[in-house]
């Protein structure tokens, strides 16, 4: 089974930059999108053979997630937890016979960590949600999780320490998630691989110079690790400031 996750940073813009050619060329079993930035009815995609599920933010042109899947899920739910987590279109959960798929766009802590308090509550509540799912069947979590976990996961760790996405608090929450019975699929396969990034600033020719961050993930329940055949980063795919990440499962 081939899964792809991509923060498209505005699907309408990405559609003008080769999105459909990429999708048709890769032909994944499941494609998860984050930061679609659309409302209901703003984009109509003709994707024969795929079921489409969309979660929209209340605020126009903001956040949003989508899941396109060949196999119709047993169930699909949107959002999670308390009402405060239910307005930005950040989570879609699709249940399959062998696992739960969770597509997630984690809130950014923002400049000067202005939203860090909310981010910490999100992390705790979302981890509890994932653990509840994991008690029923294994979980595949994917998306832009807005954190570079370790120094190896970004080009300039020293100068970025304490910034949004590389604060000690955010990194600590990722550590807690992994300690709760989950695994970073890419790092399990490639623990020492450097210069492997999924997001680059639009400034200072960062992508051209590969000055990036790895903040897009496939996280799996520990008991799914033996089924992980490959985990990749498609850094050559343009169309967004993020590139797609991939997971191949042998189920």
Catalytic residues: 105, 144
* H or E element that contains 233: strand 228-233
Tell which residue, 45, 122, 139, 29, has the closest CA to residue 80: 122
Q: What is the DSSP string of 25-81?
A: HH--SEEEEE-----TTS-----TT-EEEEE--SSTTS--EEEEESSPPSEEEE--S
CA distances from 164 to 69, 114, 153 (A): 32, 9, 14
206 with 81: CB under 8 angstroms?
no
Tokens of residue 200, six digits = 């680059």
Cα separation, 17 vs 167, in Å, equals 33
Cα separation, 106 vs 127, in Å, equals 12
Question: Which of 193-212 are b and which e, b meaning 16 or more Cβ less than 10 Å from the residue's Cβ?
Answer: eeebbbbbeeeeebbeeebb
């Amino acid at each position: 089974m081939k899964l792809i996750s991509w923060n498209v940073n505005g699907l309408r813009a990405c559609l003008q930059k080769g999105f459909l050619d990429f999708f048709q060329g890769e032909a994944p079993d499941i494609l998860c999108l984050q930061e679609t930035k659309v409302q209901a009815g703003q984009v109509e995609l003709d994707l024969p053979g795929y079921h489409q599920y969309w979660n929209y933010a209340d605020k126009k042109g903001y956040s949003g997630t989508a899941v396109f899947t060949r196999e119709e899920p047993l169930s699909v739910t949107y959002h999670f937890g308390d009402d405060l987590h239910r307005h930005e279109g950040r989570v879609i959960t699709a249940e399959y016979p062998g696992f739960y798929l969770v597509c997630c766009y984690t809130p950014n802590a923002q400049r000067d960590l202005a939203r860090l308090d909310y981010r910490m509550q999100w992390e705790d509540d979302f981890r509890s949600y994932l653990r509840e799912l994991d008690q029923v069947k294994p979980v595949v979590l994917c998306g832009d999780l807005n954190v570079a976990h370790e120094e190896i996961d970004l080009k300039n760790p020293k100068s970025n320490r304490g910034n949004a996405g590389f604060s000690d608090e955010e990194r600590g929450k990722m550590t807690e998630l992994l300690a709760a019975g989950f695994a970073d699929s890419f790092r399990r396969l490639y623990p020492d691989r450097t210069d492997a990034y999924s997001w680059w600033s639009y400034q200072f020719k960062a992508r051209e110079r590969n000055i990036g961050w790895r903040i897009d993930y496939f996280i799996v329940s520990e008991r799914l690790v033996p089924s992980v055949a490959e985990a990749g980063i498609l850094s050559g795919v343009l169309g967004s400031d993020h590139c797609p990440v991939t997971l191949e499962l042998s189920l």
